[in-house]
Amino acid sequence: VDGDAINLFDILPLFRLNDGDGGFYLDKACVVSRDPLDPDNFGKQNVGIYRMEVKGKRKLGLQPVPMHDIALHLHKAEERGEDLPIAITLGNDPIITLMGATPLKYDQSEYEMAGALRESPYPIATAPLTGFDVPWGSEVILEGVIESRKREIEGPFGEFTGHYSGGRNMTVVRIDKVSYRSKPIFESLYLGMPWTEIDYLMGPATCVPLYQQLKAEFPEVQAVNAMYTHGLLAIISTKKRYGGFARAVGLRAMTTPHGLGYVKMVIMVDEDVDPFNLPQVMWALSSKVNPAGDLVQLPNMSVLELDPGSSPAGITDKLIIDATTPVAPDNRGHYSQPVVDLPETKAWAEKLTAMLANRK
């Protein structure tokens, strides 16, 4: 379907996702865009998950978060006074959906990463209008442009933070071509108050690249838990080379590509604390932290505008909580080695458990 013959309200089985939403939304679509200054660079081609409000028969409102690759593509296009061509795919292979939600580096290809997960090249097709690489097997493809320097009110929408965003000026997408299978499957993402589908999708997809990026610069990093609200809170375990080292890791987490917009609070723990084991994390917080010196507050830092605590929207103070054991030259406190059970404790615990289980 082309041009003025397009009517998204007829083609798609749209419905309101949250009670207070301002309209119908596409929230599990992959949006494909290219770097206008380097369009043939496969790695700089971006596949991302961005929610879009259906505002007219062939018009969408799209939110390009400034820290995301599509926002950089749009910025480059608008500097040249050009629209940004995009392809939007619905009903995608779960692997490419997972990669679209993963905060990769700017020149890392989502298709190559999806291929690595499949252990075979990821299949792609050519979109008929834009010629972009799109996921093979998608149910629906919408092609068009983000119109240069055009903004309209979009929202409100029930966001992944569990709060509604208000109506804000967002970009306008004009759809010029729609291709779809016969009887296409329409897919939406359930999000809102945690835990929902988006937490299970984005949580692991956030932990892994953040861990890889930190590990490349700080081999001492042991694990990263960024499961909570797309990494607005991260818990990181690390060995320490010297005093203050854990805080340096926390600062770097906040300045990774994902951290610039999301990592608002970091809890640093020792290497013997599992950041995915909340009782262990609570023990570290309660026994290791001295508020006089272990809270590092960073004023006027960037965060995505959807963070409801930011003021003004997009600006926040960030916080590092250092729950690690001090090492030289930081000699604060009087910490012993952690308490260790006697060698026979585990065996006796197993015997007592068995005795209680068999008690009549």
Q: Are 137 and 123 in contact (CB under 8 A)?
A: yes
List all residues 6 or more positions away from 173 whose beta carbon is below 8 Å from its beta carbon. 52, 59, 60, 61, 62, 86, 88, 144, 145, 146, 147
Contact call for residues 67 and 304 (beta carbons, < 8 A): yes
**How many residues in total does the chain contain?**
360
User: Rounded to whole angstroms, how far apart are CA atoms 69 and 205?
Assistant: 16
159 part of the active site: yes
Tokens of 227: 């499961």
> Which one from 82, 112, 159, 187 is the annotated catalytic residue?
159
Tell me, what amino acid is at 313?
A: A
32: part of which helix (H) or strand (E)?
strand 30-33
One DSSP character per residue, 204-247 reads HHHHHHHHHHHHHH-TTEEEEEEEEGGGTEEEEEE--SSTTHHH
* Ramachandran bin of 232, using left for φ above 0, alpha for ψ from -120 to 50, beta for the remaining angles: alpha
Contacts of 25 (CB under 8 A, 6+ apart): 17, 51, 52, 53, 54, 157, 188
CA torsion angle 312 315 316 322 (round to 10) = 180
Tokens of 159: 């966001």
Contact 33, 72 (CB under 8 A): no
**Whether 231 contacts 210, CB under 8 Å:** yes
User: CA 295, CA 209: separation in Å to the nearest integer?
Assistant: 26
The pairing of strands 315-323 and 265-270 is parallel
Show which residues are catalytic: 159
